[in-house]
Amino acid sequence: MGTYLAKARQRQIRWRLINAEGWVLGRLAARAARVLTGRGFPDYTPNVEHRDGLIIVNAEKVRLTGRKLDQKMYRHFTGYPGGLREVTARKLMATRPERLLREAIEGMLPKNRLGDRMAKRLKVYAGSSHPHAAQGPEPLSLEN
């Protein structure tokens, strides 16, 4: 009996919709990364793209526990000398909450070309509206 290895399928991307309201940042990010990688499906193979897309709305209503709002720092480099910029989670949550959630999810994806393709199928929006109604996203419940 051999080991089953799934083949890469060229099918349409199945878009899922998640409402982030009331979720803790890390728990939501872990479950979203699980959907993007396809780990919850019976034909999961680590080196094959699963073709699921994810739309997350209400990113501004995600929660951080403890003192992470003031202690957690996000850094990015502008490309210029002395261009390392640091911002706290509280300020990032006030200005760009979708970036906060996107970085948490992308940090849980593989660090290779497959992870890059998965990250392209992640769409995060701060408010409750999104421009992807034509894709017909199915609401996804992330409860256990």
Structural domains of the chain, ranges and CATH numbers in brackets: 14-61+102-139 (3.90.1180.10)
User: Does pLDDT of 25 surpass 90?
Assistant: yes
Say if residues 18 and 57 touch (Cβ distance below 8 Å).
Answer: yes
- Rounded average pLDDT over 122-138: 95
Chain Cα centroid distance, residue 50: 15
- Rounded average pLDDT over 114-142: 94
Beta-bridged to residue 56, according to DSSP, are 18, 124
Kindly state the tokens that stand for 54: 């994810």
Chain Cα centroid distance, residue 56: 8
pLDDT tens string 37-53: 988 888 888 888 888 89
In angstroms, rounded to a whole number, what is the distance separating the alpha carbons of residues 127 and 58? 5
In angstroms, rounded to a whole number, what is the distance separating the alpha carbons of residues 102 and 98? 6
Confidence of residue 144 (pLDDT cuts 50, 70, 90): low
pLDDT of 48 reads: 84
Q: What is the residue whose two structure tokens read 């997350």?
A: 56
pLDDT tens string 70-110: 999 999 999 999 999 999 999 999 999 999 999 999 999 99
